[in-house]
Structure 1
Amino acid sequence: MILCFDSTSHNGFKRRMPHSYKALQDMGAIIMHGYNIVGDGTPAAIIPLLTGKTELDMPEMRKRFANSNAVDPENFIFKMLSKYGYRTAFFEDSPWIGTFQYRYNGFSSQPADHYLQAFLQEETKYGAKWWNGINKRHCIGDTPQYGFLMNMSKQVTSLAEKHFCFTFIVDISHDDFNMITSADDDLVAFIEHMRYSGKMENHLFIVMGDHGSRFSGLRETYQGKIEERLPLMAIMLPEKLIQTRPEALTSLQNNAHVLTTPFDIHTTLVDAMGLPELANDYVVLGSDIPRGMSLLEPIPKSRTCGKAGILSHWCVCSKWYPVLPSDRLYTQASAALANFVNNVTYDVRSNCVDRKLTFIDWVMKLSNNDDFLSFKSGIECNGQHETYVKADVKSRPSVEYYQAKITMSPGRAVFEGTMKYYVNTEHFVVSDSDIQRITAYADEPSCISKTHPHLNKYCFCKDKASKLPFT
């Protein structure tokens, strides 16, 4: 049983859900303090957990891309477990912006035995209920939507046969994380139900977040940047598993302060079910350990982001040092990031404006001693975009990594990006997979959202820009 809350960092959960956090501690939950995201947004958190893979490891499923198809349920843990006699459930609210509907083509067929997507699409009128004001937005009848999903999840945990349930609650934390507090007492009740009903005898129970806040005012601070990368991950093992494999609990406890990822959760799930053959055995080039490791086995404390499959932009273990404004690369790195933002919208320039760099917040350089995963040459998250920018520098190590935070107009679009710099050829490589926008774009890209959703964070529609003052 996995209960996931959108945009929920470890520290954010402690602040806004204090009763639930205490209930987890009282239940003996192991809190994973080194749980690190591996990419931007919900898909980068959920896909590895449910498949053991990244989206690039699977057939093309993004909207408007060549040879793109619907998402194949056969790649997901639901279908895999069905072959072993499990009843499966996948519950997710806010289906109009669903994990596999917003940027992807949706599933080719029902991914799990119990799936609420069609019901919630109809109940919300494909999102119209959400956009028509706040009245009753968060409820189904007289029941909070999160409560409805919890109730459905509780029913699944009461099934007599083997079962697996992944529930993703979005509406009370995605736009305004402060609202999650409204679910604190109800989550306590859910946790206590699992604890005192006897279900923990044979249930692996996880309460987690996909990532921290991505667009709030907090996210623009250093604290928010770290919290985004460290979501909540609380794990409670079945009593039977602890009895038969006491070393599993010891390993989990020891791994609580080790670098871990969503890939590890997938491997842990199938390990706990006695199905280790379902784990993904992919090994990052140059590594001597699998990318996904079971938390029920010892994980080396020396594990690095590179070996765990975490790009340097998302790694909280990396050491970054400020670049002075007087350094030429301060300006060059910022220009590289700004040029990339405009280059990716070049093909839709008839709809999207050419943004302008208005402010450089900071530029940082990665310590040369850090071990990290380098960019996949030619295979970036958007499938095609790489940008090369000439820079004038003195002799340096052959490869360096820079990170910049910039603000661009129109509007106030704040971007953070990590760039690979080749000193010998004096150019930057900028990848979509390591650029994030940390201010909400709202309806800025409405003119291309349906046709090019992967460009939403970059595009400001010309028809909207023409209505702004001083444009």
Structure 2
Amino acid sequence: MKWATIANMRGAGWRGCCPWPGPRALGREADPGAARGRGRRGVGGGVPSGMFLGLACLAAAVILFLVACSRLKPYRILYPGPRLERTSLHSLNNSFLVDTPGCRIPNLAVMSPEVQEFVYDYAEVTCDEPPALVRSDDEYLYLVRSRARHYGVSPASVRCCTRALWLQQANFTLPELDKDGVDNSRLAAFKLPPGGSAKFGDVIVYSDDCTPFADVTRVPHEFVRVECQAEGREVYRDFHGFVRVAPRPRSASPGPARGLSVLLLGADNLSRLNMLRSMPRTLAKLESLGAVTMLGYNKARDCLHALPCPVPGLLQVDDYSYVNLVPLLAGQPSREMERRCLLDNSVFFDPCPWLWKRFARRGYRTALMEDTPRLGLFHFHSPGFARRPVDVDPRALLLAAERELPRTRAGTTSPVCLGPRFQIQGLFDFALKFVRAMVRTGTPFFQYAWGTSLTHDYLNQAQIADPVYERFLKDLEGTGALNTTALVFLSDHGNRVGPIVTTYQGHVEDRLPVLSFVLPPWLHRRYPLAVSNLRLNTRRLVTVMDVHETVAQLADLASLEAPRLRAAAAEVRARLEAGGAPPRALSLFLAVPDTRTCAHAGIVPHFCACVHLAPARVDDPRVLQAARLLVDDVNAALAPHPQCARLALGAVRAARRGEPASLLGQRQDDVPDRVREQEFLITVQTTPGDALLEGTVRHLVAEDVMRLAGRVTRLNKYGNSSWCAPERALMLYCYCTDPNPDPDPDPASPPPPPSPLSGNKEA
């Protein structure tokens, strides 16, 4: 179905012949507050017999129509959801996704009036014009001469060759932390050699030789650049990769002595609700694979201190994917991890206790892949790695393609095409080659594959990603890998910039990214307690550090046996009964305590979704006081950097007030005056630069003291205005007093929003 057709249906409030919103999908409930129409009676209140007969006929026709709808159920294709009816949950609460003593997360309508104006439909998008002149499979390159006419040359005149390429590697090896990621004594004593602070992950080396090939050739190299000439000029250039690692064969039959392979599949900047709106085909495929989705998955932000977290009054900056994904891969908040395994701000990530190292020690092959390497998790304003961190790392391939192939817009989107394909397709093609190579040899694997290009910049652009992710999931299923692989589909956060984040729903969506688990069917039967706990946790507060613990457990399936799970659960109960807090991180194969709060999970108040905030007047004196405090704290962070202008409060754009999430779960007699503390969610506009900043301020009523409770985030793009910021964390706030000498836009800040192809408002 084309997007234009869907746009017409959405505008009319329908999906096919059935009303919007449809059935539950990924935990979505039908909107109970939908407006109802009012009829009018005839003059004097009577209804003429002829009119009555006509109405009866009309009613009969409507009934027949609805019966037909119920049989067709086209919405099942568009908006399927996880099978929550299988879970051993109490009756689902329509008002809250999570409703526990420690946390209540509101269940917001997918297409509430608050967000409708920001949602539109993209037209169908492709990137294959002109089509690729050279294609590849797992071993070979193929020159498709019949496509030469698309390049204005004759088929017989085309001559092609392959040139190998690779990333530069450091000539030294950094000491590792111990396997627990704690002891860094050897690292602390290490001194970098001269020139050892270079950013090796950005330096691509090319072979001097370009090897000619005819129509078909097997490529012995890992990564190659294909160069084709005809009639005295270069007519085509592209990049292809091949998996060239020795297998580690193991028994193909899964069992307790062997762990599952793991595929972490990411879509940047995608909330669960926006996935419901924008990626119905991917949802349908995930449901067909038996996905279990976490409805209370709250994005992470660093907590630098012991509970309670954070220290009031501490301005915490940095709002990137980095702080959400480091806990996934390291099992620690980013600041904790950096203190243990980084020498200073310019050193490499090699020594850190990454999750893939745990799997490598158990004989797994490991792979790390990102479709936008210039914005890579470890390389954007960071030094990356001194040496290749995993067995298979296509950074050289994807970075070379990103630098040398035309990056084009599809219609009026941000750039999504790289040469003759979607930029993310290069990632998916190579990811599938890796999976097939592992399946052929029976080698277990750990793979991290993160997509950014199709979902990062704009709210509605995820619609373009939908068929691409769906196709990848179908191809992955076709490899047979899912019989021995745990698939984790997740995002780091919801949409962080644009008009939608100025609404309360946008505020909540940003904090609730998507997280789904797909496990082999036999694992459900063999480890019923583990899967039952996983389903129970769909309605509990969970974080990315829980995902780390869950994935780590998959390396040893014996840990999922019921006796071991019961023993681990008993330890948690004993801790709670002794008056302790629930663990900060907990495998989701154990039941997450219903008393867990955001403070227990290490989520700072500003990013906690466990509280309902009511609108407040922007001219309320307490709101204005909170707004001034927010701006003052930002200025305090900028004060050591004179190149950044001092900000002034231009206007308070929005304000909400509520009870702190930390009070949830406390008995009334534990909090004599529950209004002694209030939280204000404040959105301000500052000058110069017109930055939209949002922060949470806690008001201690009796003392009449206000303190910043967590981070200050930015809701609009900073473009080139922060070019002089001394560190990436301050780019969100710094307005440079001098003009930018480089006119190119910052890669982290996409161009102004395009006009939608449907002609509606851009998000």
Q: Shared topology, TM-score over 0.5?
A: yes
Residue 82 of structure 1 corresponds to 360
Residue 416 of structure 1 corresponds to 694
After superposition, the Cα gap between the structure-2 partners of 1:58 and 1:229, relative to the gap in structure 1 and judged at 3 Å, is same
Aligned residue for 2:498, secondary structure, equals coil
Amino acid paired to 1:203: T
The residue correspondences of 1:117-266 to structure 2 (distance < 5 A) are 117-125=395-403, 137-158=415-436, 159=438, 160-266=442-548
Give CA-to-partner distance per residue, 1:327-379, whole Å, 9 cap, x none: 43222110001112222222222x22222211112334441574489xxxxxx
Amino acid paired to 1:415: L
Q: 2:632 aligns with which of 322, 325, 339?
A: 339
Amino acid paired to 1:32: M
Aligned residue for 1:11, secondary structure, equals helix
Q: 1:17 aligns with which of 259, 276, 279?
A: 279
Q: Distance in 2 between matches of 1:412 and 1:62?
A: 38
Give CA-to-partner distance per residue, 1:124-150, whole Å, 9 cap, x none: 23999589x989953444222211111
Amino acid paired to 1:294: S
After superposition, the Cα gap between the structure-2 partners of 1:369 and 1:190, relative to the gap in structure 1 and judged at 3 Å, is closer
CA positional deviation for 1:440 = 0.7
Aligned residue for 1:417, secondary structure, equals strand
After superposition, the Cα gap between the structure-2 partners of 1:62 and 1:217, relative to the gap in structure 1 and judged at 3 Å, is farther
Kindly indicate whether the alpha-carbon contact (under 8 Å) linking 2:659 and 2:677 is maintained by their aligned counterparts in 1: no
Residue 728 of structure 2 corresponds to 453
Aligned residue for 1:460, secondary structure, equals coil
Residue 315 of structure 1 corresponds to 608
Q: Distance in 2 between matches of 1:396 and 1:243?
A: 47
CA positional deviation for 1:445 = 0.6
Residue 391 of structure 1 corresponds to none
After superposition, the Cα gap between the structure-2 partners of 1:8 and 1:305, relative to the gap in structure 1 and judged at 3 Å, is same
Aligned residue for 2:446, secondary structure, equals strand
Deviates most, 92-101 or 8-17: 92-101
Residue 294 of structure 2 corresponds to 32
After superposition, the Cα gap between the structure-2 partners of 1:411 and 1:368, relative to the gap in structure 1 and judged at 3 Å, is closer
Kindly indicate whether the alpha-carbon contact (under 8 Å) linking 2:694 and 2:713 is maintained by their aligned counterparts in 1: yes
Q: Distance in 2 between matches of 1:54 and 1:348?
A: 26
Kindly indicate whether the alpha-carbon contact (under 8 Å) linking 2:605 and 2:661 is maintained by their aligned counterparts in 1: no
After superposition, the Cα gap between the structure-2 partners of 1:62 and 1:78, relative to the gap in structure 1 and judged at 3 Å, is closer
CA positional deviation for 1:175 = 1.3
The residue correspondences of 1:292-311 to structure 2 (distance < 5 A) are 292-311=585-604
Q: Does 1:288 align with 2:581?
A: yes
Kindly indicate whether the alpha-carbon contact (under 8 Å) linking 1:312 and 1:372 is maintained by their aligned counterparts in 2: no
Aligned residue for 1:414, secondary structure, equals strand
Kindly indicate whether the alpha-carbon contact (under 8 Å) linking 2:677 and 2:700 is maintained by their aligned counterparts in 1: yes
Deviates most, 454-463 or 339-348: 339-348
CA positional deviation for 1:319 = 3.2
Amino acid paired to 1:85: G
Q: Does 1:362 align with 2:654?
A: yes
Give CA-to-partner distance per residue, 1:166-214, whole Å, 9 cap, x none: 1111111111242332232232222223335432211101222111111
Residue 97 of structure 1 corresponds to 375
After superposition, the Cα gap between the structure-2 partners of 1:234 and 1:245, relative to the gap in structure 1 and judged at 3 Å, is same
Q: Distance in 2 between matches of 1:153 and 1:272?
A: 20
CA positional deviation for 1:86 = 0.9
Kindly indicate whether the alpha-carbon contact (under 8 Å) linking 1:342 and 1:354 is maintained by their aligned counterparts in 2: yes
Kindly indicate whether the alpha-carbon contact (under 8 Å) linking 1:61 and 1:71 is maintained by their aligned counterparts in 2: no
After superposition, the Cα gap between the structure-2 partners of 1:372 and 1:153, relative to the gap in structure 1 and judged at 3 Å, is farther
Residue 268 of structure 2 corresponds to 6
Q: Distance in 2 between matches of 1:10 and 1:207?
A: 11
Kindly indicate whether the alpha-carbon contact (under 8 Å) linking 2:508 and 2:609 is maintained by their aligned counterparts in 1: yes
Q: Does 1:48 align with 2:327?
A: yes
Amino acid paired to 1:346: A
After superposition, the Cα gap between the structure-2 partners of 1:234 and 1:50, relative to the gap in structure 1 and judged at 3 Å, is same
Q: Distance in 2 between matches of 1:326 and 1:396?
A: 24
Amino acid paired to 1:241: L
Residue 337 of structure 2 corresponds to 58
CA positional deviation for 1:304 = 1.6
Deviates most, 100-109 or 253-262: 100-109
Aligned residue for 1:125, secondary structure, equals helix
Q: Distance in 2 between matches of 1:322 and 1:251?
A: 37
After superposition, the Cα gap between the structure-2 partners of 1:319 and 1:425, relative to the gap in structure 1 and judged at 3 Å, is same
Unmatched 5+ residue regions in structure 2? 1-262, 302-318, 666-672, 741-763
Unmatched 5+ residue regions in structure 1? 374-394, 466-471
After superposition, the Cα gap between the structure-2 partners of 1:299 and 1:396, relative to the gap in structure 1 and judged at 3 Å, is closer
After superposition, the Cα gap between the structure-2 partners of 1:400 and 1:113, relative to the gap in structure 1 and judged at 3 Å, is same
Residue 721 of structure 2 corresponds to 444
Aligned residue for 2:644, secondary structure, equals coil
Kindly indicate whether the alpha-carbon contact (under 8 Å) linking 1:71 and 1:104 is maintained by their aligned counterparts in 2: no
Q: Distance in 1 between matches of 2:298 and 2:287?
A: 21
Kindly indicate whether the alpha-carbon contact (under 8 Å) linking 1:415 and 1:436 is maintained by their aligned counterparts in 2: yes
After superposition, the Cα gap between the structure-2 partners of 1:368 and 1:411, relative to the gap in structure 1 and judged at 3 Å, is closer
CA positional deviation for 1:155 = 2.2
Give the TM-score of the pair, scaled to structure 2: 0.52
After superposition, the Cα gap between the structure-2 partners of 1:205 and 1:343, relative to the gap in structure 1 and judged at 3 Å, is same
Residue 641 of structure 2 corresponds to 348
Q: Distance in 2 between matches of 1:326 and 1:207?
A: 43
Kindly indicate whether the alpha-carbon contact (under 8 Å) linking 1:8 and 1:209 is maintained by their aligned counterparts in 2: yes
Amino acid paired to 2:469: L
Greater gyration radius: 2
Kindly indicate whether the alpha-carbon contact (under 8 Å) linking 1:366 and 1:400 is maintained by their aligned counterparts in 2: yes
Aligned residue for 2:592, secondary structure, equals coil
CA RMSD of superposed structures (Å): 3.4
Q: Does 1:463 align with 2:755?
A: no
Residue 394 of structure 2 corresponds to 116
Kindly indicate whether the alpha-carbon contact (under 8 Å) linking 2:645 and 2:737 is maintained by their aligned counterparts in 1: yes
Amino acid paired to 1:224: G
Kindly indicate whether the alpha-carbon contact (under 8 Å) linking 1:93 and 1:120 is maintained by their aligned counterparts in 2: yes
Kindly indicate whether the alpha-carbon contact (under 8 Å) linking 2:330 and 2:355 is maintained by their aligned counterparts in 1: yes
CA positional deviation for 1:402 = 3.3
CA positional deviation for 1:295 = 1.4
Kindly indicate whether the alpha-carbon contact (under 8 Å) linking 1:73 and 1:110 is maintained by their aligned counterparts in 2: no
Q: Distance in 2 between matches of 1:299 and 1:411?
A: 44
After superposition, the Cα gap between the structure-2 partners of 1:359 and 1:200, relative to the gap in structure 1 and judged at 3 Å, is same
CA positional deviation for 1:415 = 0.6
After superposition, the Cα gap between the structure-2 partners of 1:270 and 1:91, relative to the gap in structure 1 and judged at 3 Å, is same
Q: Distance in 2 between matches of 1:364 and 1:185?
A: 38
Q: Distance in 1 between matches of 2:622 and 2:344?
A: 36
Amino acid paired to 1:256: T
Q: Does 1:406 align with 2:681?
A: no
Give CA-to-partner distance per residue, 1:241-292, whole Å, 9 cap, x none: 2232122222222211211110111111011221769x9x9999x8532211
